[in-house]
Structure 1
Amino acid sequence: MILLYQLVIAEKPSVAMSIAKVLGATARKEGHMEGAGWLVSWCVGHLAELAEPAAYDPRYGKWRREDLPILPESWRFTVGQEKRSQFDTLRTLLRREDVSEVVNACDAGREGELIFRTAYHLAGCAKPMKRLWISSMEDGAIREGFASLRPGRDYDGLHQAALCRQKADWLVGINATRLFSVLYNRTLNIGRVMSPTLALIVQREAEIAAFAPEPFYTVELDCGGMTVTGERISVKKDASALAAACEGHAATIQTAERREKSEKPPALYDLTTLQREANRALGYTAQQTLDYLQALYEKKLCTYPRTDSRFLTDDMESAVPALVSAAAAVCGLDAPGEVLASQVCNSGKVTDHHAVVPTRSAAAADLSALPLGEREVLRLVSLALLRAVCPPYRYAETAVVVECAGHSFSAKGKVLLDAGWRAYAELPQDAALPGGLTEGMQLPVEAVRVKTGKTAPPKHFTEDSILASMETAGAGDMPEDAERRGIGTPATRAAILEKLVASGLVERKKAKKITNLLPTQAGSSLVTVLPEALQSPLLTAEWEQRLGEVERGTLAPEDFMDGIAALVRDLVRDYQPVSGWKVLFPSDRETIGPCPRCGGAVTESKKGFFCENRECRFVLWKDSKFFSAKKKQLTKSAAASLLKAGRVKLTGCWSEKTGKTYDATVILEDDGERTNYKLVFGHE
């Protein structure tokens, strides 16, 4: 009798090890764990990616406008050399006759579904599939997840949405990047989500540059321990006249109102709000916060990071007090006397995953052993839970309006009634007004001041504020029932910002304690030449909305892809370069000649002659063995001739065989992937 196994595939080795331990698969094998009827292996992230254009046609190895648009009829995937071994292991496991069923244990989200399904299909597997869907890596959560595995087909829509997203990004990225790079002779990275984000940053800088500050003046009166302030005045002379009129006069209280108010505690963190807070409070980038949170998740100290929900599910209400105790232990604080668990639980506001909270395991963790970044992020997450289960912050607000010299002046003050959730918030103390203030009371004016101010320009984007703008961009034009608004998703926004920086389109610049995101000259120029279709946040928001429809099965994947393909076709057919574009994309290096692959500018560097289009990867190496074997060097003039005419004449080449010298012509051959040289003699 053959012992049948269930094969579990996780996204990362560390996650696989945690699962294997719970399942009892303790025997270590090559690329997997085994035991108790289970095989547990892993994908190491995206094992396979969509193939490069040259895989569909060799001519796509070179960048030419006439070859665009590139629209594959059937999509191909490739496995990177460094991941080939693990893919081979997975393929062998998936095809084993003693494997009866496969469990997808990759991260419970769109990308995790794509990672698993791609490997599953590439391996040619058709075995029954189950889905592990958990929000915590604690042993108990893993056991509960395996006790309630879901049919894989329940996530077919999620996979289709993920695949459509991947293909759409490929189509827009490949075609638009090649089109604009060829037209403007330099690498211009363009992306479905990246370009609208860049446009937001460029637009903000344009608003700042165009802003003209306007002075204003306010008159302040000191009235016996209370300062009252008048309205803004645009003319200094008028403000001075008002101040003079108030000198030596009493102020009369027109109204003095006391109202009791309350503020509900902030909701728990989703990924974006946590990234924003970590940037404000700690200066972390969005990617750093995500990395720290992912590490905490894998260490069983936090729940799943890539969530857009700020509530827990209703069935978690009974578990909240234990989570609050863990949060208090993390922060070294006392837990609230009363835990209002119901106000953080609302299943109707939870999508794929609930809000980020610490796990019960965090209570007993050795926090001193954690890296500082992980420790600080865990503390933020814990404080959010402590605040969220507290009663409201209650205070009494007194608002006073006084009259002096025929003008109104006002002041507000607060008196704490119940700190509530603010007991766990490091906020400034509220200022109070003197007691006993009543209508008609006369107040002496002890001093008068005219304060000068200026209207402030919009602020540069920080990671905090750009994330907020990405989350809401285009929302005003979206239907009220739209599920996804804004640019990108919580899971992708950090990577988009990092790619903008890595592509040289955006840079981080520190001013005092704040790090701003500023467009580079190339970034601003790129937005100048981009058509509206590629920089509109509304279009991107609509795409995200349609991907949600694909996920729910209300929109066919083919219909979504048809829309993307139509956009690409129109772009390639209709786009014309902006006149005078060379002013927008100046090069600080001398151009040696045109790139034979993409038409970009080839410039000289220390080790060779490189195409400035970094995606192209064309290079003529100075230390080429072809030239050094002939005791010749690839000079700038020789490189220029090869690039312009495809050939260069060399005299005095040394022959290794005969020890003599000879003259010949070198022919440059480039197939889009490799560069070779050929010698010809005579008049070929």
Structure 2
Amino acid sequence: MNLVIAEKPSVAQSIAAVLGANKRHDGYMEGSNYIVSWCIGHLVELATADTYDERYAKWDYADLPILPENWQYSISNGKEKQVRILKELANRKDVAVITSATDAGREGELIFRLVYEKIGCKKPVKRLWISSMEESAISDGFKALRDSTYYDDLYHSALCRAKADWIVGINATRLFSVLYGQTLNVGRVMSPTLAMIVEREAAISAFKPEPFYTIQLDCGTFILSSEKLTDRQAAEALLKDCDGQTIAIHSVESKKKCEKPPKLYDLTTLQREANRMLGFTAEQTLSYAQSLYEKKLITYPRTDSRYLTLDMSESTPAVVKVAAGIFMPQSFEFSICIEQVTDNSKVSDHHAIIPTICIQDCDLASLPFGERELLLLISLRLACAVNESCKYEETTATAIVSGVEFTTKGKTILSEGFHDIEKHYHAMQNDKQSLEKEKALPTITADESFVVRANIKDGKTSPPKHFTDDTILAAMENANNALDDSERKGIGTPATRAGILEKLIKTELLERKGDKKTKHFLPTQKGVSLITVLPEAIQSPQLTAEWEENLKRIEHGLLSPDRFLEDISQMTKSLINTYTPIKGSDVLFPSNQEAIGKCPRCGNDVTENKKGFCCLNKTCGFALWKDNKFFTAKKKKLTKAIAIELLKNGKANLKGCYSEKTGKTYDAVVLLDDSGGKYVNFILEFASDKA
């Protein structure tokens, strides 16, 4: 019996259908000598800090750095049942082999391996590695299973990523939160990303627009323009020299050029284009793409490749025809050059994102809006990428007046190529702006003369643009790029960048602003202040990019995981030992709420809200709830005065407590008994106890 473990229930159902495991049970399916079960995302994760020592439940500068020697793992909250099911299935006597069928990538490998280790399984493991959920791809994948040891380096890379994020996240977040009195989330990838956005906004704020002037000569059927002039008087003088004069065309130059078809999508380029054209956030695009993948309509989305493998050359043309048929009339014919999109040397773990042949049976109208629009984009890109180049002739006409060169350009399309398909897509979308043609110049010859009317066109230099999902993804991908694309050192991975952006928003360090379609990122005051106090080592995109490159080296067996983690640990130790708080931080991190005392766990301020008295450090978890059963059972209310006493002295007097047993009242002292757990406990002390 072969136990197959997928990453999600929907993927497991697709695999089970191919394998013939059609008998449903609680948490798995069985049949034809296969058991197919699933994880639910991450079932097992790195344990919290207090797992190593109870005192870490409270945030204390003296405990830093926290660097586990023997890493521990815990079952993710609410997922205990599925782990138990997997353990029971793995221990069945009739199960001889386990097949890992989680997503074929770094995180998928980690998800399976941590579960495998947690349930204490020792049975041999095979790895299913596929890029499509089509039945043929699943069937072929099971015929080509590899021993899981082949992917050991990938697992080590994934585990190092998780541990590095834990080390930096836990220690740096606690350090800066404790020193500055409020929750300040710091992360290995989060902080450099935030730093880029803060730096961009600083450049926008500091920008001072400068005027410029362009002289335009109206020749009747076309307009000649000068270069930008920064001096107004010089521009007006040139205007006088030109207006009403007869000018001769100095030269006319025509060049035949060609615009190559676009490359296929990897995840990042898909997210960027979906943001530009559709207004989708990076996270929305990833969510829609994952759903389309699970519906067998596109190939694996979490890829950084923009090419297909040579073995796909025979099957892809049929997919191209179906994809093009969405936009083009059936009678339309175009050449399909698969060679343009196939290159094994440029494919990493997975090939580019393309539709599957299953789209021919898909009712597009039945898909949710986001999924439908994304599938149309992916189909359009495939049809364009294998099509011919757009060929055109570019003409430049030049005139010289008073020693100043004036030019005009025009383009004449000789062969539309892939733009033909794009036009049909834009027509389907009723996108009139994209359908507008570029103007061609009228026939102009050298030495031809024109009487011109001149005017000045005023303008101002523009500030840098706010980051959008599109442009910040590009910045994250290209952080510290060398000229050679093979030396790319980006921040994060295609699969994780969207989550990083959303976490920055969730932790109130960033916000999205703008209209429905065109939104951009703005740092909050808290985000700006955090970057102000963070040292360069934590906020440097270059350093983080080098870490990502080292994770790639681990994946390819070129770097020791222990060496990588030792470097991370040493950097963390240095940060803790050398960092000193910036003076005047109360200005950077003001609190608008009245503090009633200090948190006994992390030392941050405790403030009052509608439900209780809570630590400002949201990740700390300390709270004294007003409707606490300990007090309500005694017909007492945890008032502000009592909370202040408890925080100041660890105890408070309670008079007139009601006894449920006797129905009488009594006086006592309530003691704060906090062990760092989810809830704060209390103990009653009576006069007799003190004696």
TM-score, scaled to structure 2? 0.96
Contact 1:48–1:80 (CA under 8 A) maintained in structure 2: yes
Distance 1:254 1:167 in 2: 67
Kindly indicate whether the alpha-carbon contact (under 8 Å) linking 2:274 and 2:285 is maintained by their aligned counterparts in 1: yes
Q: 2:347 aligns with which of 345, 350, 364?
A: 350
Distance across 1 between alignment mates of 2:361 and 2:662: 78
- Where 1:99 maps in the other structure, the secondary structure is coil
Matched, 1:680 2:685: yes
Aligned to 2:223: 227
> Structure 1 residue 370 and structure 2 residue 374: aligned?
no
- What does residue 418 of structure 1 align with? 415
Offset of residue 483 of structure 1: 5.0
1:536 maps to which residue?
540
C-alpha contact 1:94 1:120 (8 A) present in aligned 2: no
**Distance in 2 of aligned mates of 1:259 and 1:484:** 34
Structure 2: distance between partners of 1:584 and 1:216: 38
Deviates more, 1:361-370 or 1:457-466: 361-370
Deviation string for 1:293-350 (max 9, x for gaps)? 0000000000000000001011111122111022123445556521111101111110
Q: Could you tell me which residue of structure 2 aligns to residue 467 of structure 1?
A: 473
Q: Which residue of 2 aligns with 1:76?
A: 72
Q: How far apart, in 2, do the equivalents of 1:31 and 1:511 lie?
A: 44
Of 623, 629, 640, which aligns to 1:625? 629
Quick one: distance in 2 between partners of 1:373 and 1:191? 30
Number of equivalences: 676
Query: How far apart, CA to CA, are the structure 2 residues paired with 1:483 and 1:319?
Result: 32
2:338 equivalent among 329, 338, 341: 341
> Which of 245, 249, 252 is residue 249 of structure 1 equivalent to?
245
The answer to whether the 8 Å contact 2:655/2:668 transfers is: yes
Does structure 2 conserve the Cα–Cα contact (< 8 Å) formed by 1:27 and 1:35? yes
1:495 aligns with 499
- Distance in structure 1 (CA, Å) of the matches to 2:314 and 2:517: 42
TM-superposed deviation, 1:642: 1.1
Q: Which residue of 1 aligns with 2:463?
A: 457
Deviation (angstroms), 1:469: 0.4
* 1:651 to partner: Cα distance: 3.0
Q: 1:430 aligns with which of 410, 434, 438?
A: 438
The answer to whether residue 525 in structure 2 is matched with residue 525 in structure 1 is no
Q: Is the 8 A contact 2:653 2:668 kept in 1?
A: yes
Is contact 1:651-1:662 (8 Å) kept? yes
Deviation at 1:193, TM superposition (A): 0.6
1:151: Cα distance to partner? 1.6
Partners of 1:330 and 1:363 within 8 A in 2 = no
Go from structure 1 to structure 2 and tell me whether the alpha carbon gap of 1:21 and 1:522 turns closer, same or farther (over 3 Å shift).
same
Counterpart among 13, 27, 34 of residue 31 in structure 1: 27
- Write the distance in 2 (CA, Å) between the matches of 1:28 and 1:649: 60
SS of residue paired to 2:30:
strand
Moved more, 630-639 or 392-401: 630-639
Mapped contact 1:330–1:362 kept (Cα < 8 A):
no
Contact (CA 8 Å) 2:5, 2:100: kept in 1 or not? Answer: yes
1:121-145 superposed Cα distances (whole Å, 9 cap, x missing partner): 1111121111111110000111111
Residues 115-514 of structure 1: pairs in structure 2 closer than 5 A: 115-331=111-327, 333-334=329-330, 336-425=333-422, 426=426, 427=434, 428-435=436-443, 437-445=444-452, 447-476=453-482, 480=484, 484-511=488-515, 513-514=517-518
Provide closer, same or farther for how the CA distance between residues 423 and 613 of structure 1 changes in structure 2, counting only shifts above 3 A: same
Kindly report the root-mean-square deviation, in angstroms, between the aligned alpha carbons of the 2 structures: 1.5
- The 4+ residue runs of structure 1 with deviation greater than 6 A are none
Are the counterparts in 2 of residues 250 and 404 from structure 1 also a CA contact under 8 Å? no
> How far is the alpha carbon of 1:628 from its aligned partner?
2.1
Q: Residues 480 and 566 from structure 1, CA distance in 2 versus in 1: closer, same or farther, beyond 3 angstroms? A: farther
Give the direction of change, closer, same or farther, for the CA distance of 1:150–1:201 in structure 2 (3 Å limit): same
Q: 1:75 and 1:512 mapped to 2: Cα distance?
A: 45
AA in 1 matched with 2:538: L
Amino acid at match of 1:459: K
Name the CA distance, whole Å, in 2 between partners of 1:568 and 1:482.
30
Do the aligned partners of residues 94 and 656 (structure 1) sit closer, same or farther apart at CA in structure 2, a change above 3 Å counting? closer
Change (3 A) 1:106 1:612: same
Given the superposition, is the C-alpha separation of residues 80 and 248 from structure 1 closer, same or farther in structure 2, using an over 3 Å criterion?
A: closer
Residue 395 and residue 48 in structure 1: after superposition, are their counterparts in 2 closer, same or farther (change >3 A)? same
Give the whole-Å Cα distance in 1 for the aligned partners of 2:661 and 2:97: 64
Q: Per-residue deviation at 1:359?
A: 0.2
Deviations 1:196-237 (A, max 9, x none): 000011000000001011011111010121101011111222
Query: What letter corresponds to residue 607 of structure 1 in structure 2?
Result: K
SS at structure 1 position matched to 2:457: strand
What is residue 86 of structure 1 aligned with on the other side? Answer: 82
Q: Work out which of the residue numbers 583, 591, 616 in structure 1 matches 2:620.
A: 616
Q: For residues 397 and 332 of structure 1, what CA distance do their matches in structure 2 show?
A: 28
User: SS where residue 388 of structure 2 aligns?
Assistant: coil
Shift of 1:20: 0.7
Instruction: Give the match's secondary structure for 2:78.
Output: helix
Give me the whole-angstrom Cα distance separating, in 2, the residues matched to 1:443 and 1:84. Answer: 83
SS in 1 for 2:236: helix
SS of the residue 2:315 aligns to: helix
| Distance in 2 (alpha carbons) for counterparts of 1:379 and 1:109 | 25
Q: How far off its partner does 1:648 sit? A: 1.8
In structure 2, the CA distance between the partners of 1:80 and 1:511, relative to structure 1 (3 Å rule), is closer
How far off its partner does 1:481 sit? 7.7
Cα pair 2:27 2:37 within 8 Å, conserved: yes
Aligned AA (1:522): K
Code of the aligned partner of 1:389: V
Whole-Å Cα distance in 2 between the matches of residues 331 and 480 of structure 1?
A: 37
Tell me how far apart the structure 2 counterparts of residues 513 and 120 of structure 1 sit (CA, whole Å): 44
Counterpart position of 2:562: 558
Other structure's SS at 1:356 match: coil
Q: What is the distance in 2 between the residues matched to 1:399 and 1:355? A: 38
1:606 paired residue among 604, 610, 634? 610
Question: Could you say what secondary structure the match of 2:79 adopts?
Answer: helix
Find the counterpart in structure 2 of residue 6 from structure 1: 2
Classify the secondary structure of the residue corresponding to 1:212. coil
What SS class does the counterpart of residue 475 from structure 1 fall into? coil
Deviations 1:172-195 (A, max 9, x none): 111111111111111111111111
C-alpha distance in structure 2 between counterparts of 1:82 and 1:565, whole Å? 31
Is the Cα–Cα contact under 8 Å of residues 279 and 516 in structure 2 kept in the other structure?
Answer: no
Q: 1:111 to 1:484 in 2, by over 3 A?
A: farther
CA distance in 2, matches of 1:81, 1:567: 31
Cα drift, residue 617 of structure 1: 1.0
Q: 2:144, 2:487 → 1: CA distance?
A: 27
The structural deviation recorded for 1:480 is 4.7
Distance 1:646 1:332, change over 3 A: farther
1:449 alignment partner AA: N
What TM-score, normalized by structure 1, do the two folds share?
Answer: 0.97
The correspondence of residues 55-74 of structure 1 with structure 2, limited to 5 A, is 55-74=51-70
> Quick one: distance in 1 between partners of 2:220 and 2:651?
90
Give the letter aligned to residue 651 of structure 2: R
